[in-house]
Amino acid sequence: MSPREQLEDILSGSEYEAYRNQGGGFSFWDWLLEKIGRFLSWLLPDLKPGEGTLNVFALVLVLALAGLLAWIGVLIARRYSGGGRLRSRDYMASGEASRSWEHYWAQAERHAELGAWRDGVRAVFLALLFYLEQRGRLRVEPWKTNREYAEELAESNAGAAAGFLQAATAFERSWYGRGEVTGEQLEAFRRQAESLMKEAGDSER
């Protein structure tokens, strides 16, 4: 047995093993390396990865998980933030073919009479969208976000675009909010939409 082999044999003894295990406490990194090593041994029995290889695998795994969590967070933030990332298809009913703003305005009035305030807010917002489309300010598409509508609107009226984003934020909070929407909130939103319609270029209703 060579001197190196003798040294390794001594260091692998129980007394040295006990010494190495004293006082270190739990190490998540060591635990992760152990799990990765076992997984690789199961997946590739002929592979004998060294500590450096395991460290690389562990680092890649941690970074991948962090990236996945960040990506999920961005998706959630885009969908629910007040920045207008909600897409039209998220609040337009399937098969809703009407592109008449008058249709949705009348629908909002019916919802108000029935006390369906949240549905009324949605109908008012759709009326606003299709009114702006009728005036040639934007084009309503299921895949567009409210921010994209605001960007289209800004090309002809920057002031109206800012007001539209405020209305879109109010709509999203009402439509997806947990609290009850009141008749007063619906009426305030209706007045806000009317003001935007007039600012967009036509005060007749």
CATH (domain of 193): 1.20.120
* Residue 169 resides in a domain: yes
Min mean pLDDT across 15-24, 26-35, 66-75, 144-153 is at 15-24
58 and 125 in a single domain? The answer is: no
* Residue 194 resides in a domain: yes
In the chain, pLDDT over 70 holds for what percent of residues? 63
106 and 176 in a single domain? The answer is: yes
Give the pLDDT mean for 148-173.
89
Angle, helices 158-176/117-134, rounded to nearest 10 degrees: 150
Instruction: Please tell me the pTM assigned to this model.
Output: 0.57
Name residue 87's beta-bridge partners.
Answer: 145
Greater pLDDT, 205 or 126: 126
184 and 93 in a single domain? The answer is: yes
Domain limits for position 48: 3-80
Residue 113 to residue 108: CA distance in whole angstroms = 9
- Cα dihedral sign for 115, 117, 123, 128? positive
Structural domain count of the chain: 2
Q: Where are the beta strands (DSSP E) in 6-126?
A: none
pLDDT value of position 130: 93
59 and 97 in a single domain? The answer is: no
* Residue 205 resides in a domain: no
How many of the other CB atoms lie within 10 Å of CB of 188? 13
* Residue 132 resides in a domain: yes
Residues 27-75 have pLDDT tens digits of 777 777 677 777 766 666 665 656 666 666 666 776 777 788 887 776 6
